C-alpha cells in the first residue's frame, strides 16, 4: 500500500497530510517540535491566510476560527511620496486608499493554529513522529515511504534541493524584519491590514491577529538597511524590552503616522516576551524535487522550495497552495493505479503549481525592489479607482492574477487602458 512521508508540520505539511488522510492515504508526518513545544515557543510568523487558503481549510473541515469573527475584509494602503528617483506622484501627501476583499482573510497565530491541525491529523489516522530529521535521515525515511514530501525549510534539508539561480536574484536580505504582537493599537476601520510604504525607510504591515492574548495587533517592520528604522533593528527585544517598545512607538510616530494615530501610548506594549521575532531572510527558490540514494523521490513544498519576503503576506498561502497541488497530483496518480512516485510524477506535480508559486515570488520581489514606474502608476490608479483597489486586494489570494497585471509595463498599461486610464497620464 502506498505510503507518503511528510517532513515538517507547518501549514504545507499539515494541509497535505490532512488532504491525503481525507482520501485514506497512509501518511506519516515527521516534525522536530511537538504541539506543546510549538505552542509555548517563540512567535513563528504573522502570516495571514487568504480566502483560497481558508477554502482549503473548509474543505478539510479544519476551519476552526470562523473568518467572519476572527478575520477581516480590507487592506488600507498608505504609500509615501517620492518613491523613487525623485518621482513624485501627485501632491505632497501620501497616497491613501483602501481595497476591500471579496471574502475575508484571517490571521491566526500559527502556535495556536498548527497544534490544532496536528490534532485533527492524528484524529484522522495520520501518524506523527516527533524527531529531528537531518539530511542524513532522508534516505532511511525514503525506505519507509513511496514518496517523501519535504515541507520543512529549516536546517540542512534545503541543501537536498539545488538553488535555482535564475529565480534567486539576491545574495543578501532585502529587509531586516522585526515583528511582534502588540496591545494598545486600535484596529483600523473597517477591520483590516494596513500596508504602509515609507520610501527609503521600509514598510509596515499592521495585521489584526488572533493569538494567545486574544485579538491583538501584529506589527511587522520591514527595515531597509541604512534607512530610518535601523534604530529599531539594532535593539534586541530580549536585551531591553522597554527600549524596544519605545523604539517601536517612535518608529510609528515618525514613519507610519496612519497607524500611530490609532495607538494608545499608555497601553502600547508587546503582548508577551515570546511574541517577538527579529531576523532576516534571502528570498530564493530551489529545485522542485530530488532523488534520494535509494531511488525514492523527495518533493519540496513550502519554504524549502520557495522563500519569499513576508511583505506581501504570501508565505503560508503559497505553502498551502503548493502542498495542495502536490496532494492533488498524488491522488491523481493513485487514482490512475499509483504506478510510480518517480521523476515523471514529480515533474507533473511541479508543473501543476509552478505558475502560482513563481508568480508569488516574482510579485513579492517586484514589491521589494525600487518601484518601477508601472507599479507607481498602478498605485496611483488604485487611489483614484475603487474597482482597481478592490481587485488588487482580492488578488492577494491570487498571486498569478496579480503578476499577470504587473509582470511587464506593457501588461500594466493595457490593464489600466482597459479601465479607461492612461499610464503616461498617471505618471505625469
For a copy of itself, the binding residues (CB under 8 A) are 336-340, 342, 344, 347-348, 351, 354-355, 401, 403-405, 407-408, 410-411, 414-415, 418
In angstroms, how far is CA 320 from the centroid of its own chain? 10
> In terms of CB distance, is 120 or 333 closer to a copy of itself?
333
> In terms of CB distance, is 229 or 379 closer to a copy of itself?
379
> In terms of CB distance, is 386 or 408 closer to a copy of itself?
408
> In terms of CB distance, is 82 or 348 closer to a copy of itself?
348
- 3-state DSSP assignment of residue 192: strand
Q: Which phi-psi region, left, alpha or beta, contains residue 241 (left: φ > 0; alpha: ψ -120 to 50)? A: alpha
Rounded to 10 degrees, the C-alpha dihedral 151/156/157/160 comes to: 140
Q: How far is the CB of 133 from a copy of itself (least distance, A)?
A: 25
> In terms of CB distance, is 86 or 336 closer to a copy of itself?
336
Residue 138 C-beta-side C-alpha neighbours within 13 Å: 28
Closest CA to 405 of 74, 421, 55: 421
Residues ≥6 apart with Cβ < 8 Å to 186: 262, 263, 264
Residues ≥6 apart with Cβ < 8 Å to 177: 220, 221, 222, 223, 277, 278, 279, 280, 281, 310
Alpha helices in 92-214 (DSSP H): 110-123, 138-144
Q: How far is the CB of 271 from a copy of itself (least distance, A)?
A: 42
The whole-angstrom separation of Cα 424 and Cα 418 is: 14
> In terms of CB distance, is 102 or 408 closer to a copy of itself?
408
DSSP state of 312: G
The whole-angstrom separation of Cα 400 and Cα 402 is: 5
Q: How far is the CB of 156 from a copy of itself (least distance, A)?
A: 29
Unique residue bearing C-alpha cell 510616530 = 253
Q: How far is the CB of 343 from a copy of itself (least distance, A)?
A: 8
> In terms of CB distance, is 220 or 329 closer to a copy of itself?
329
> In terms of CB distance, is 64 or 347 closer to a copy of itself?
347
Q: How far is the CB of 125 from a copy of itself (least distance, A)?
A: 24
- Asked if 181 contacts 110 with a C-beta cutoff of 8 angstroms, the reply is no
Q: How far is the CB of 352 from a copy of itself (least distance, A)?
A: 9
Q: How far is the CB of 184 from a copy of itself (least distance, A)?
A: 44
Q: How far is the CB of 126 from a copy of itself (least distance, A)?
A: 25
Q: How far is the CB of 174 from a copy of itself (least distance, A)?
A: 23
> In terms of CB distance, is 252 or 356 closer to a copy of itself?
356
In 106-186 the beta strands, taken as DSSP E runs, fall at 127-130, 147-150, 176-183
List the grid coordinates of 414.
493595457
Amino acid at each position: 500500500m502506498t505510503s507518503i512521508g511528510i517532513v515538517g508540520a507547518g501549514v504545507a505539511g499539515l494541509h497535505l497530510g490532512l488532504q491525503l488522510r481525507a482520501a485514506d492515504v497512509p501518511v506519516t508526518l515527521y516534525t522536530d517540535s511537538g504541539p506543546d513545544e510549538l505552542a509555548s515557543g517563540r512567535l513563528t510568523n504573522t502570516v495571514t491566510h487568504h480566502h483560497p487558503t481558508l477554502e482549503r481549510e473548509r474543505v478539510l473541515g479544519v476551519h476552526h476560527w470562523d473568518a467572519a469573527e476572527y478575520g477581516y475584509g480590507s487592506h488600507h494602503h498608505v504609500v509615501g511620496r517620492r518613491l523613487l528617483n525623485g518621482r513624485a506622484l501627485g501632491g505632497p501627501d501620501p497616497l491613501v486608499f483602501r481595497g476591500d476583499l471579496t471574502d475575508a482573510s484571517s490571521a491566526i497565530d500559527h502556535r495556536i493554529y498548527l497544534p490544532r491541525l496536528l490534532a485533527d491529523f492524528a484524529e484522522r489516522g495520520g501518524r506523527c513522529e516527533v524527531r529531528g530529521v537531518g539530511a542524513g535521515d532522508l534516505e532511511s525515511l525514503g525506505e519507509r515511504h513511496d514518496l517523501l514530501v519535504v515541507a520543512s525549510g529549516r536546517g540542512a534539508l534545503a541543501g537536498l534541493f539545488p538553488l535555482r539561480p535564475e529565480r534567486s536574484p539576491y545574495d543578501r536580505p532585502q529587509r531586516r524584519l522585526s515583528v511582534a504582537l502588540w496591545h494598545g493599537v486600535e484596529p483600523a476601520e473597517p477591520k483590516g491590514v494596513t500596508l504602509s510604504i515609507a520610501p527609503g525607510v521600509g514598510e509596515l504591515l499592521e495585521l489584526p491577529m488572533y493569538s494567545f492574548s486574544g485579538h491583538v495587533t501584529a506589527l511587522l517592520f520591514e527595515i531597509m538597511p541604512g534607512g530610518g528604522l535601523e534604530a529599531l533593528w539594532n535593539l534586541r527585544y530580549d536585551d531591553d524590552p522597554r527600549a524596544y517598545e519605545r523604539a517601536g512607538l517612535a518608529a510609528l510616530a515618525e514613519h507610519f503616522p496612519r497607524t500611530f494615530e490609532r495607538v494608545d501610548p499608555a497601553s502600547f506594549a508587546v503582548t508577551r516576551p515570546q511574541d517577538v521575532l527579529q531576523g532576516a531572510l534571502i528570498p530564493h527558490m530551489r529545485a522542485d524535487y530530488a532523488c534520494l540514494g535509494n531511488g525514492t523521490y523527495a518533493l519540496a513544498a513550502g519554504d524549502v522550495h520557495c522563500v519569499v519576503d513576508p511583505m506581501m503576506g504570501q508565505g503560508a498561502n503559497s505553502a498551502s497552495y503548493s502542498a495542495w497541488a502536490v496532494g492533488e497530483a498524488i491522488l491523481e496518480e493513485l487514482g490512475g493505479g499509483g504506478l510510480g512516485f518517480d521523476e515523471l510524477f514529480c515533474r507533473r506535480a511541479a508543473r501543476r503549481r509552478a505558475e502560482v508559486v513563481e508568480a508569488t515570488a516574482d510579485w513579492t520581489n517586484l514589491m521589494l525592489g525600487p518601484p518601477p514606474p508601472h507599479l507607481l502608476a498602478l498605485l496611483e490608479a488604485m487611489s483614484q479607482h475603487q474597482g482597481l483597489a478592490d481587485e488588487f486586494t482580492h488578488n492577494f489570494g491570487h498571486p498569478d492574477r496579480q503578476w499577470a497585471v504587473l509582470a511587464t509595463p506593457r501588461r500594466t498599461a493595457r490593464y489600466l487602458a482597459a479601465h479607461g486610464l492612461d499610464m503616461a497620464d498617471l505618471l505625469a
